[in-house]
Amino acid sequence: MNCLIIDDNKLARTAMKQLVSHVDQLTVAGECASAIEAYNILQKERIDLLLLDIEMPGMDGLELTRNIGKQGPVIIFTTAKKDYAIEAFELQVADYLIKPVTPARFIQAIERVKELQQAGIRTLQDTDPEYLFIRDSGILRRIKLEDILYLEAMGDYVKLHTAQQFHTIHSTLKAIEERLPAAKFMRVHRSYIVALDMINAIEDGAIVIGKHIVPVADAYRGAFNNRLKLL
């Protein structure tokens, strides 16, 4: 697997090359000081992985990711800031590394890329519709859609509830909603999405799923009632 290192900071590129040198079957195909330079290379050469900084003059890493689209290489963002994590998730990159990147964290990211490639996918979201891949506490987990009870927004995070436990995902509820099949899931509140097949009852205008009570907001009640064909 080859990679292209893209960072406007020469010292950061050198540090990343050092990390790559310690990983078998990963080679540096080149390095770029700008996203424009990288874009031009990608038009001519086959690159498997981008180690891509975000904040760069001119075109930044987010813009480059949008321009190359889903048919481009697997992307790992490397940045000094946590601020772009949610947008990175929405752009469906494989991982998000905070500088300075430790060897252990870098290897974890590369192993994640290998897992995705072995599964025949390039991001955590390009999966079989019966499954959802999530990052929970640094671990890549495959969750069956049929196991999901409901999802709950908690600030910058989302709690995904199953019958056995819940998983915490650093994302917005909207971003996850876009990746769930509309035939099986429905938003019933600004902070809640429910699995329709898991609804046991509706009591006092709230949804009962097992031992859980999920509120239905007035703004969503009409659409929810129509969806369930309530008499």
pLDDT tens per residue, range 5-32: 999 999 999 999 999 999 998 999 999 9
pTM: 0.58
> Which tens digits make up the pLDDT trace of 47-89?
999 999 999 999 999 999 999 876 678 999 999 988 787 777 6
Q: What is the DSSP letter of 147?
A: G
Q: Which residues contact 212 (CB under 8 A, 6 or more apart)?
A: 149, 150, 161
Q: How far apart are the first and last CA of the chain?
A: 58
pLDDT more than 90, % of the chain: 55
Q: In 3D, which of 67, 33, 69 has the Cα closest to residue 53? A: 33
Q: Token digits for 47? A: 């690159």
Residue 6 has a pLDDT of 98
pLDDT, the chain, mean = 87
Hey, what's the torsion of the CAs at 113, 138, 128, 213, to 10 degrees? -170
pLDDT of residue 124: 44
Q: Which architecture characterizes domain 131-228 according to CATH? A: Beta Barrel (2.40)
Residue extents of the structural domains in the chain: 2-118, 131-228
Q: Do domains 2-118 and 131-228 have the same CATH topology?
A: no
Q: Of residues 125 and 217, which shows the higher confidence score? A: 217
pLDDT at residue 29, as a whole number: 96
Tell me the CATH class for 2-118.
alpha beta
Question: Using 50, 70 and 90 to split pLDDT, how confident is the model at 138?
Answer: low
Residue 125 predicted with pLDDT over 60: no
Number of H helices, E strands in the chain: 7, 15
